[in-house]
Amino acid sequence: MSVETSRVKLSLIEAGGGEECILFIHGNLMCKEFWDDVVAELAGEYRCIAVDLRGFGDSEAKPVDATQGVRDYSMDLLELSDLLKLSRVHLVAHSMGAAVALQYLLDSPQRVASVTLAAPVSPYGFGGTRDINGTPCYPDYAGSGGGLIAKYNPRFLELLSLKYTGADEAVAPRLVLRGMFKQGYTPPVELEERLLKGMLKAKLGEEYYPGDYVESPNWPHVAPGSKGVLNSISPRYLNLHPAVDLEQKPPVLWLRGAYDLVVSDRSLYDPAVLGQLEIIPGYPGEDEYPPQPMESQMRALLEEYAEKGGYYREVQLDTGHMIPLEARREFVSELRRHIS
């Protein structure tokens, strides 16, 4: 079904009719169908709603104003919540969707009953920071934003635009998708096809995915622009640290994959790591541009959240980045425990 808000037309899946509602938020280049199997397990107990964010899946492709961080997404979901009369929600989010969930919490803390973050992006976004406090490597936040894909992986963008479903190029969307799972894990054929289909629906361009960028004198010579998906999670615009000072602090469950290559303290997608591997040339060294300690940044924020009166629980699972899919039973079990 689709719901038209004053901001954007959003496609969603709704199942179940319990008194408590779970709002599921997918990650970058994913879609609402990411949550199908999880929703199927929980719909007997909860009202479950999974949404395509703007520009993804079957939702309307509206431009993303990255200068507001991820607030275009969070405000879309808040207005949707109003229209669906969701007075209290449990937020369950994956990857980039975790930033949207935390921004939703910042915008409307009284509405949030709990937060579950699966393989969450750092509270300071992706790329360009050096320590647990999110300090930028350079004043222009070089190494974050749309240029990481637009300049350094244009073939991936081209294959997305061609809706290419093959597996004979290293940057084929299908292989990129497989690389998000733990090495050695083979996703079921139906699941892979479902996710790939959703991935290929993403709206592409400077106002969408990946976003625009500007040239930089600082390595790796791209800095964030002001539009599109990857700029919205640049630390230039995204800082979720204010969550630690909320008066109302719902409990937070953080699930992370022991073999996550996307979000970790040495992410294979981090320009610093790509520089060390000589995939991006000219790496200036760790003193100038260290790998972003993504998980340590999240842990530092949540520890401060707890010190200031909140509660969080950290669970490591034997998975890669796709925790709710690779370890669905454990994920659902931990989620039930958290919500109850």
* Tens-place pLDDT, residues 109-138: 999 999 999 999 999 999 999 999 999 999
CB neighbour list of residue 57: distance below 8 Å, 6 or more residues apart: 11, 26, 31, 32, 33, 198, 201
Q: What is the pLDDT of residue 96?
A: 99
Q: What is the pLDDT of residue 303?
A: 99
* Separation of alpha carbons 222 and 229, rounded Å: 15
Rg of the chain over all Cα atoms, to the nearest angstrom: 19
* pLDDT tens, residue by residue, 283-308: 999 999 999 999 999 999 999 999 99
State the total domains in the chain: 1
* pLDDT tens, residue by residue, 189-207: 999 999 999 999 999 999 9
SS3 state at 106: helix
Confidence of residue 14 (pLDDT cuts 50, 70, 90): very high
Q: What is the pLDDT of residue 129?
A: 99
Q: What is the pLDDT of residue 120?
A: 99
* Separation of alpha carbons 252 and 326, rounded Å: 21
* Separation of alpha carbons 307 and 309, rounded Å: 6
Predicted TM-score (pTM) of the model is: 0.98
| Residue 193 resides in a domain | no
Tell me the pLDDT of the chain averaged across its residues: 98
| Residue 66 resides in a domain | yes
| Residue 176 resides in a domain | no
State the CATH number of the domain containing residue 125. Answer: 3.40.50.1820
Q: Which residues of the chain form beta strands (DSSP E)? A: 2-4, 9-15, 21-25, 47-51, 89-94, 112-118, 204-205, 209-210, 213-215, 222-224, 252-257, 312-317
Q: What is the pLDDT of residue 297?
A: 99
| Residue 123 resides in a domain | yes
Cβ-contact 236, 141 below 8 angstroms: yes
CB neighbour list of residue 229: distance below 8 Å, 6 or more residues apart: 28, 55, 64, 66, 96, 146, 208, 209, 210, 211
| Residue 125 resides in a domain | yes
Q: What are phi and psi of 215, to 5 degrees?
A: -70, 150
In single-letter form, the type of residue at position 4 comes to E
Q: What is the pLDDT of residue 192?
A: 98
Domain limits at 56? 2-140+234-339
**Which residue from 20, 13, 31 is spatially nearest to 194, judged by alpha carbons?**
31
* Separation of alpha carbons 113 and 251, rounded Å: 8
**Which residue from 61, 101, 55, 97 is spatially nearest to 81, judged by alpha carbons?**
101
* Separation of alpha carbons 213 and 124, rounded Å: 18
By percentage, how much of the chain surpasses pLDDT 90? 99
* pLDDT tens, residue by residue, 214-266: 999 999 999 999 999 999 999 999 999 999 999 999 999 999 999 999 999 99
Give start and end residues of each alpha helix (H) in 220-262.
229-232
| Residue 120 resides in a domain | yes
| Residue 245 resides in a domain | yes
| Residue 228 resides in a domain | no
